[in-house]
Amino acid sequence: MGLDRHLPTRRELLAGSGALFAWSQMPRIARAEGRDPRLLVVILRGALDGFGAVAPVGDPDWVALRGDRALLLDGKPAALPLDSFFALNPAMPNLHRLYKSGKAAIVHATATPYRERSHFDGQDVLESGFTRPGATASGWLNRALLAMESGGRVDPRGSRALGIGSVTPLVVRGSAPVMTWVPQKLLPASQDTQNRLLDLYQHTDPKLATVLQARMKLASLDGARGTGDPMSDDPTLAPPGIARVRAYFTEAAGTAARYLAKPDGPRVGAMGFVGWDTHIAEGAASGQLYNLLGALDGAFAAIESNMGEVWHETVVAVVTEFGRTARINGTQGTDHGTGTVAFLIGGGLAGGRVIADWPGLKAAQLLDDRDLKPTTDLRAVLKGLLRDHLRVEEKVLAETVFPDSAEIKPMGGLVA
């Protein structure tokens, strides 16, 4: 599947526009400064467990909260230390390396303004940039692109954005033209989807349940070849198709980076990765979430290497619609929560730190005695990136990109 555009009427305009075109891709103000910034937004659909990704190992209540599911510095495998308080999931050595070299930052205890627990609505708020779901059919990234051109001579070629996947993420949809690219590799149904289907079959169709269970067993044997007793029911066995998930993440992210790196390519892009809704057998230290974070870490490596020379002008924001419950549920998973983490990576970042106004983990410090309390509005982070990296004006950010957000000040100092 090749590169396609949502606006076929622009086809001729976009074809063969050559060098002129390359210049026109740059955000107007940044161009004047001699910069050529890139921004890629990665949506983790399903609500990432921030505690499973970045553990507050220095919090005295951490172990009590998660018990034997708590990531620890002396765990098996050992969490990767970030600072004196936080440690990273051991599945993410690339992110750890980037962090240590100042090219990654982590925002913890963050959330959008959405406070309910519907994925669809949560994603709508995250991507639209509005405070309520269903308010608009465009995304904040697309509107930011349009804003960058306002006031000057509008070059219709200049605002192209890139969407990766069969469905362009809402965050990049809108009136600025979007080109889309669909990965060749098929994303296999996630472990989570299979688990849910199995549960559904167990309640409605035992024969189908038996067949699906056999397939899941077979796939897990296949995925875990050589890692132990193949007949074991060990939940840490690699989930089915994790190799395919890794390949999909790497291809999708790597391709996004390749397009963004082209001199005449788009300057902003967006993509989504599914599978983060870990209700059952979350497996942070080994298992479902561990494997997915590992695949995401592989995607980070692909972005870094495919950005090549423009890595130093790149920022990647990895965000999710909401967090998960602070405590583990009865099926060794977590349910829909609120506060979570966002990953920021890129050569253009002033990183090497975890940004968090830590709310604490005591029952009274949790939101509704249930969730990590969000203390950083995710919009502040995104506004900071848009202002300092893409040079979108604060007023536009407050009124158009994230409407009614004047009181949420852009977070400064994120970009080098």
Partner 1 sequence: MSNPARAETVLALQRFGMGPRPGSIAAMGSDPRGALIAELDRPLTLTAAAGLPTSAKAFRTVADANARRTARVKQAQQQAKKQQMAAAAPAMSEDQAQGQVQDKDAAEMAAKQAADAVPDPGRPMYLQEAKLRTEAALAAEIGFAERLVWFWSNHFCVSANKIQSMSGAYEREAVRANALGRFVDLLLAVEGHPAMLFYLDNLESMGANSIAGINRSRGLNENIAREIMELHTLGVRTGYTQDDVISFANVMTGWTLVPPGADPQHGGEFTFNPRLHEPGGQTVLGKRYEQEDAEQGRAVLRDLAAHPATSTHVATKLARHFVADEPPPALVEQMAKTFRDTEGDLKQVAIAMVSSDEAWRGPPSKLKRPGEWVVGMVRATGITVVDPVLYTGGQQLLGEPLWRPSSPKGYPDDEASWIDGVGRRLDVANNFAERVTGMADPQVIIEDVFASEIAPEVKQAVDRAESRQQALALLFMSADFQRR
Q: Which residues bind partner 1 (CB under 8 A)?
A: 45-47, 119-120, 123, 165-168, 186-190, 192-194, 196-197, 199-201, 203-205, 207-208, 211-212, 215, 274-277
Q: Which is nearer to partner 1, 20 or 211 (CB)?
A: 211
Distance of closest approach, residue 34 Cβ to partner 1, in angstroms: 39
Q: Which two tokens stand for residue 293?
A: 């974070």
Q: Which is nearer to partner 1, 20 or 200 (CB)?
A: 200
Q: Which is nearer to partner 1, 190 or 314 (CB)?
A: 190
Rounded to 5 degrees, φ, ψ at 258 are -60, -40
Distance of closest approach, residue 236 Cβ to partner 1, in angstroms: 22
Q: Which is nearer to partner 1, 38 or 336 (CB)?
A: 336
Distance of CA 252 to the CA centre of its chain: 13
Distance of closest approach, residue 275 Cβ to partner 1, in angstroms: 8
Q: Which is nearer to partner 1, 65 or 280 (CB)?
A: 280
Nearest one of 51, 130, 45 to 321, comparing CA atoms: 45
Q: Which is nearer to partner 1, 23 or 120 (CB)?
A: 120
Burial grade of 402 (CB within 10 A; 0-12, 13-18, 19 or more): buried
Give the Cβ contact number of residue 142 at 10 Å: 28
Distance of closest approach, residue 214 Cβ to partner 1, in angstroms: 8
Distance of closest approach, residue 32 Cβ to partner 1, in angstroms: 37
Give the Cβ contact number of residue 135 at 10 Å: 13
Give the Cβ contact number of residue 84 at 10 Å: 8
Q: Which is nearer to partner 1, 332 or 365 (CB)?
A: 332
Q: Which is nearer to partner 1, 37 or 139 (CB)?
A: 139
Distance of closest approach, residue 65 Cβ to partner 1, in angstroms: 23
Distance of closest approach, residue 182 Cβ to partner 1, in angstroms: 9
| Distance separating alpha carbons of residues 41 and 171, to the nearest angstrom | 8
Q: Which is nearer to partner 1, 24 or 123 (CB)?
A: 123
Distance of closest approach, residue 47 Cβ to partner 1, in angstroms: 7
Distance of closest approach, residue 190 Cβ to partner 1, in angstroms: 8
